[in-house]
Amino acid sequence: MPHALLHNLLHNQVLHEQVVLLTVVYEDSPRVPTSRRFEVEGYGEGFYRVVLHFGFMDEPDVPAALKLCHLDELDFSPMRTTYFLSRETIVAAKLEGMARWREALFAFMLKNANGNLRFFNLPFNRVIELGTQVEM
């Protein structure tokens, strides 16, 4: 179960009418034609798996790609779609392993990296980020 779905379910104690588990895959080709951009699998009870395919030269625009999923059961209209993202924060552990300065440097670089929100061109007012801390 994705962290974002689990945390949303635990916090709000509600399961949405339509839940789409979205995966973005980058292909080895520079571009993926729009006819092969998505795969949809229905699990029943309002659960779906959508796999979006992008080439390594494509600009990943998730909302535009979801508009291509023209199935009657799925509604990706902009004001009815909320994106739940999980975000991991790395915390340096006191256990033996990597040198502390390397752990701290990695955690700092990860914190300052661009997030999925901008990278996938998601609308700012339709995204909820749920985070967890991971010890390294």
pLDDT tens-digit series, residues 8-21 = 788 888 888 889 99
What are the C-alpha distances in Å from 46 to residues 52, 108, 115? 19, 39, 28
Partners of residue 26 on adjacent β-strands:
54
In this prediction, residue 131 has a pLDDT band, given cuts at 50, 70 and 90, of confident
**Mean pLDDT, range 123-133, rounded to an integer:** 84
In this prediction, residue 62 has a pLDDT band, given cuts at 50, 70 and 90, of very high
Range of the domain at 118: 3-135
* pTM of the shown model: 0.77
Number of domains in the chain: 1
Tokens at 52, concatenated: 């979006």
